[in-house]
Structure 1
């Protein structure tokens, strides 16, 4: 049989093999996105209890993962309930990515390469969405992992402005060895206040072209969005990020009272320890709409300034006690509005609707403040960095904060900075020379020249005394 007649069969075989990857993952339709400081084990287990069928770990830095055992242990924390699981890595070195993936391979069902992160740190590190300008490197990364692992390799990417270029990009990744593509329908410029809507047209164009499974990501705020996305684009699954964070019951099409998922999550966080900053971030999103009310200012402050599970639970209990009578219908909630169409009470978990980019741009043009203003307790304007420091101090009032800073004064004998505790106001080397010449000690530099010389003399005297006696 001719070579040209064999190639379609080979392509079909490869396509069938990669489609089986989706079946091996359990053919999931409802997927929780990889989210830095957010999709940790406790949150994944909460999401799985309420409809999520596949979860990703947070983005892991491949080089840190390879060199830091503690980072690996924390990142790979999992249970038998936490499957199927995809571990996501970022990086730009194929060999380091492969080494990291091999560490993670026994603990997951696939390895995902993050080529969608649009943040400034990704630009500085040359990874995430900033790899989309270097197709040759991406081919090498994907093919290296594909040939070096026994589990599938997947990619999570952002689109280009042009649909045709996005399709070519996806085909390149497929040909390089990717077994699955997750497509976030936004460009890397669509972030922060310029996020806007994701383009499902781009995702559909890719889905209609490639032969491997496609997951859609973007514009998912409720279960109706999930169903509409699957129907319109014909993707295998739909991924949720912000929608899941504001309502972890999203895949059950249920809007619970905010304290229900909060208390359930806190129980999981107690069983599977989570950094306080992660917990606080989750609770602020779950309580977002209700904490915006002036009557809950105290709870907002308690959540911001405390770091214990007990304190977090107390916030949830306080909100529950305040709004449970309204939730159960014993009291009537007055919104002050006459039109209740699609209006949910603030204590229910519900989507967070971003300000459209056009409104943000108009505010900038109108000269309104572009950035949030930060002020101290006396009302003085301060920097964001200073504001964060004051919050840390408020959360840990008993912790010593008056740590002396290293002096910027110069050594008396040379241009180097002097030692912070040096008795002679010298740098380490000059202090060592002074102690050697003048037979001195310096406790600040832990230099015991005089003491050791004295000990040596005493030892020598004892040795001679012993010799004379014999």
Structure 2
């Protein structure tokens, strides 16, 4: 069953404490590893993608950021912005908000349907910053602390809260920020190792993340430059963090935390089945597939994939070039290499044999 949040509040099963991110951090620590986390992505970390990555050793998955002001006021926004089901665990719903009233109303409506709520204090998109949300909050630690404290005062342990931040040019300003939100009651902090203006082509600052980890007692998650399982372990070892979040890396390879260097063919088959079942918007569906296969098929084939105009055309195209197994067929979801019906000549294929 799929649940779209609306005033009727369709019921799903109560949350299991084992899915609470704080308990997941503790369990992963016992296993001698960081928690593996799929981060929030506008348009792309929707329910079908969240279900896909859970097949590949992901512990915690985020929703895309939801704007609190629109969500609490508009039923259409509620139905379009958030969809979940009983398998959607452990789930962190990320929210963009800049005031206590909207934040508390959002939490009241959403908390029965997720395992934690994350306040976005790091999104650098100019439109969001101009609205006073995302990275705009990095210069207002008092406001963020006020929002966290108000939520904890009202909901107590019923709600687990995170803040996702970026670093300041002066790391001591970031340390002051995290200490304030920790004192306000935040349960864990995610740190993107870049400033608001740092380009993604520049390396993330893991030394800064290490300093932040050493400055607070709540769990800390590192975000930035994680494209493989090896990256995740290296980042955790270098910083001492409790979890490692991937965003661009897991969009390209949803199986990265299972140790796959490239997306396995079985993940493509699984995504087809899940995406069609949940009626994922076609262009989002197509973009996921194109991104996953970018380094494994030729430019010509990728161009043809991107030129498909409908889901039917896309399925026909895949069936004409690849062995795309359905969920009822033997071997479904198990393949590793791209399963061509007729393998291209060596100079027509860009994937590494």
TM interval, shorter chain, is 0.7 to 0.9
Distance 1:297 1:281, change over 3 A: closer
The residue aligned with 1:59 is 65
For residues 71-470 of structure 1, the aligned pairs below 5 Å read 71-149=77-155, 150-191=158-199, 195-256=201-262, 259-290=265-296, 293-294=299-300, 296-302=302-308, 306-308=309-311, 310-320=312-322, 334=346, 346-347=350-351
Distance 1:133 1:198, change over 3 A: same
Q: 1:37 and 2:43 equivalent?
A: yes
Distance 1:59 1:220, change over 3 A: same
Answer yes or no: is the 8 Å Cα contact 2:296–2:350 preserved in 1: yes
4+ aligned runs moved over 6 Å, structure 1: 324-328, 330-333
Deviation at 1:295, TM superposition (A): 5.6
Answer yes or no: is the 8 Å Cα contact 1:258–1:286 preserved in 2: no
TM-score (norm 1): 0.62
Work out the CA distance in 2 between the residues paired with 1:62 and 1:74: 13
Q: CA RMSD in A?
A: 2.8
Classify the secondary structure of the residue corresponding to 2:230: helix
Work out the CA distance in 2 between the residues paired with 1:72 and 1:326: 38
Work out the CA distance in 1 between the residues paired with 2:286 and 2:26: 32
Larger gyration radius, structure 1 or structure 2: 1
Answer yes or no: is the 8 Å Cα contact 1:156–1:181 preserved in 2: yes
Unaligned residue ranges in structure 1 (runs of 5+) = 1-19, 337-344, 349-470
Deviation at 1:257, TM superposition (A): 5.7
Deviation at 1:78, TM superposition (A): 1.6
Deviation at 1:148, TM superposition (A): 2.2
Q: Relative contact order: is structure 1 or structure 2 higher (C-alpha 8 Å, sep ≥ 6)?
A: 2
Answer yes or no: is the 8 Å Cα contact 1:56–1:85 preserved in 2: yes
Unaligned residue ranges in structure 2 (runs of 5+) = 1-19, 29-34, 325-335
Post-superposition CA distance 1:219-252 (Å, at most 9, x none): 1011110111111111111111010000000011
Distance 1:295 1:84, change over 3 A: closer
TM-score (norm 2): 0.81
Distance 1:319 1:144, change over 3 A: farther
Work out the CA distance in 2 between the residues paired with 1:190 and 1:314: 42
Distance 1:253 1:202, change over 3 A: same
Work out the CA distance in 2 between the residues paired with 1:144 and 1:98: 8
Range with greater deviation from structure 2 (163-172 or 225-234) = 163-172
Work out the CA distance in 2 between the residues paired with 1:75 and 1:295: 33
Q: 1:22 and 2:22 equivalent?
A: yes
Deviation at 1:325, TM superposition (A): 9.5
Deviation at 1:319, TM superposition (A): 4.6
